[in-house]
Amino acid sequence: MKTWIDGLPKVPFAYRELPPGGEWMTREEAASCLGIGEFHLNSLMGNTRRIDPVCTADRKLALTRTSVEAEKRWRASASRWRKVLRLLKDVARSF
């Protein structure tokens, strides 16, 4: 049986290409580096766009090391007030 999507072109992942060298990490490595769970990491990637996803050669999702390190530095240096403001902003953007 033919479906309505059979004639449509297959679009590859819309993520950027891998940066050169070892400048990327898997989702599991990024979650353990930040000390959060994968659900929270997925919300950082999807809702807030603070962590940049890239696509590996075998079409798996990876994250740029610079964006993960920037998020880690922000979490270590931000005041409690800035973290609360960021949380409120993220919740408002998710609707």
In a domain, residue 9? The reply is: no
3-class secondary-structure state, position 77: helix
Cut 0.85: pTM above it? no
pLDDT at 94: 72
In a domain, residue 4? The reply is: no
3-class secondary-structure state, position 37: coil
Domain that holds residue 71: 16-93
In a domain, residue 76? The reply is: yes
CB atoms closer than 10 angstroms to residue 31: 20
* Token duo for residue 81: 């007030």
In a domain, residue 60? The reply is: yes
In a domain, residue 80? The reply is: yes
- Number of domains making up the chain: 1
Give the domain CATH number at 35: 1.10.1660
pLDDT tens over the chain, length 95 residues: 455 455 544 444 445 666 666 688 888 999 999 999 988 888 888 767 778 788 777 777 888 888 888 889 988 999 999 989 988 887 887 77
In a domain, residue 2? The reply is: no
pLDDT at 57: 72
pLDDT at 17: 63
Enter the DSSP assignment of 48: S
